[in-house]
Amino acid sequence: MFILQGAPPLILAVLFAFLGADSPEKDKLLSKEERDYIVQNRTAEVKEHGSFLDVVKNYRVWVFSFIYFLWITGVYSFGLWMPSLMKQLSNSGIGIVGWLSAVPFILAAICMYYNSVWSDSVGENRVLFVSVPLMIGGLALAIQHLVEGGMVFNMILLIIAGIGIYSAFGPWWAWAMSFFPSNQAGTANGLINTCGNIGGIVGPIIVGAVAQNSDLTDGFYVLGFFLMAASIMAVLFGAVLKSKSGIIGVSEGSEAKG
């Protein structure tokens, strides 16, 4: 297993050594139009000024951090406990469990792409492309616990949950980073990620603690509420930001600097 997991990064390292470039001028994979655009705009003066303290004092970064914490509590727990839950539901061997566990993530990756494309086509309502998938994912986990069904029924709900949990990632970062000037985006991104990843510690512990008589569906049921709470908070915060900037998910210059 370790060999299989370690081989792809080594292959990518070799490919990157040949395909990567130190600058746009040396990148053979870029078209002339792409290269010219990057070269002309990378040296553009950044008008917004700010420091780390400015980011810390920005209430938006902490609200986004809390939403992300609730969300990532579900993300890590879903991924880490999925194989164990599949084994519990199917009573199958490790090989079948591995294939069954992969299905939700494969479909989630596909939906992540299309949700991001759809969000880009709309642009002004990115919050909906975050909150709706999270609510769907949370409801799927709750229904799995409340409604008894067989393996197929549970598998369908887990697939829906996986799609909801992961498909919001693209619109999420486009939405969250739109409220910070470019020279503060890295710091804001880091703070949001740090707070969110604390959920990666909390979530798996909650699932293990709540699971009664080793029934993991009890733990996943709790994760559903974390996801639904993240969805509701995203909607409420989106409404607050809309009232201040006029458009959900699009910040004005004065808003970005605040």
pLDDT score of 247? 43
Phi, psi (deg, nearest 5) at residue 118: -60, -45
pLDDT score of 13? 95
pLDDT score of 254? 39
Provide the 8-state DSSP code for 247: S
CB-count exposure of residue 83 (10 Å: 0-12, 13-18, 19+) = middle
- More confident of the two residues 109 and 253: 109
Strand pairing partners for 215?
A: 212
In the structure encoding, which two tokens stand for residue 4, read together?
């299989």
Do the Cβ atoms of 100 and 90 come closer than 8 Å? Answer: yes
Provide the 8-state DSSP code for 24: G
pLDDT score of 121? 87
**Does residue 9 have a pLDDT over 90?**
yes
pLDDT score of 214? 64
Interaxial angle between packed helices 216-245 and 59-90, expressed in degrees from 0 to 180 and rounded to the nearest 10? 150
**Does residue 256 have a pLDDT over 50?**
no
**Distance (Å, whole) CA 17 – CA 212:** 50
In the structure encoding, which two tokens stand for residue 254, read together?
């004065």
22-43 confidence digits (pLDDT tens): 888 888 888 888 888 888 877 6
Confidence band, pLDDT 50/70/90 cuts, at residue 248: very low
- More confident of the two residues 214 and 94: 94
**Does residue 244 have a pLDDT over 80?**
no
**Does residue 59 have a pLDDT over 60?**
yes
- More confident of the two residues 16 and 248: 16
**Does residue 249 have a pLDDT over 50?**
no
Phi, psi (deg, nearest 5) at residue 144: -60, -35
Report, as an integer, the average pLDDT of 107-118: 92
pLDDT score of 44? 54
**Distance (Å, whole) CA 6 – CA 23:** 28
pLDDT score of 245? 64
207-231 confidence digits (pLDDT tens): 778 776 666 667 777 888 999 999 9
Interaxial angle between packed helices 216-245 and 126-146, expressed in degrees from 0 to 180 and rounded to the nearest 10? 160
Q: Which of 200, 60, 226, 231 is nearest to 130 (CA)?
A: 231
**Distance (Å, whole) CA 106 – CA 241:** 34
The length of the chain is 258
The mean of the pLDDT values for the chain is: 83
- More confident of the two residues 60 and 44: 60
CA 124 to chain centre: 19
122-169 confidence digits (pLDDT tens): 877 789 999 999 999 999 988 887 887 777 888 888 899 999 999 999
- Radius of gyration over alpha carbons of the chain, in Å? 21
% of the chain exceeding 90 in pLDDT:
33
CA 133 to chain centre: 11
Q: Which of 56, 87, 59, 90 is nearest to 190 (CA)?
A: 56
Structure pTM? 0.76
**Does residue 65 have a pLDDT over 80?**
yes
- More confident of the two residues 54 and 119: 119
Q: Which of 172, 142, 168 is nearest to 154 (CA)?
A: 142
